[in-house]
Amino acid sequence: APIKPGSSPMTSEEEEVGFWACGNVNNVDDYDDEEDINANALHEVLACNSSPPEDIVLSVIESNPGVVRVFDDLGQLPLHHACMAKRVSVNTFAYILEAYPEGAYVPDKVGKYPIDYAAENLDAETRINAIAALLQNDATKGLTPKRVEDPGCIGVAAYELE
C-alpha cells in the first residue's frame, strides 16, 4: 500500500532518517525515476515542501556535509529548496548555512538566488526565518557580496564574494 505523504512506517530515529533521506515519502516508484537519480537526500527532505524535520535535516548534513553543495536538475542547492518550502525553522536554515555559507550566493539555472525565493515565499514564517538567517550568515561569516554584471545575460546581476 502507498505511504501517505508526510508519514513514516519507521519506528526508530535511524530508520526515520533513512526513510526521509531516500525520498520515499511521496514516490512509490523510487528506483528508476531520472529526477531521483540526480537529487540527493537533503533535496528530498526539503522537497516535501512543508515542515522539514530539523533533526532529519541535521542528521543528513552531519552524515554527509557535502550534501549541501549538490545541485539538482534545476541548478538549485538545498538552500534554494528550503527558501521555497513552508514552515522551515530558523535552525534548519542555520544548519544548511553553517555547512555551506557561500551557498547564499549561488544562483540556479534561471539566475535566482536563495534570497529571491525567500522573498517570494508566501509562507510568512519561512520568509522571515530565511531572510533573517541569510542576513545573519553575512554578518557572522564575514561574507561581503559584490554585485557584478553577468556578461551572459543582459540586465541580470550576479554576486561574487570579495
The pLDDT assigned to 22 comes to: 40
The pLDDT assigned to 149 comes to: 52
Q: What is the mean pLDDT of each run of 10 residues along the chain (162 residues)?
A: 38 45 41 48 78 90 91 92 94 95 93 94 95 83 55 44 50
* Grid cell digits, residue 19: 526513510
* H helix intervals, the chain: 13-21, 34-38, 41-47, 54-63, 78-84, 90-99, 114-120, 124-141
The second-level CATH assignment, the architecture, of 13-161 is: Alpha Horseshoe (1.25)
DSSP state of 102: G
Tally of CA atoms within 13 A in the half-sphere of 53 that contains its CB: 14
User: C-alpha 7: how far from its chain's center?
Assistant: 20
CB 60 within 8 A of CB 45: yes
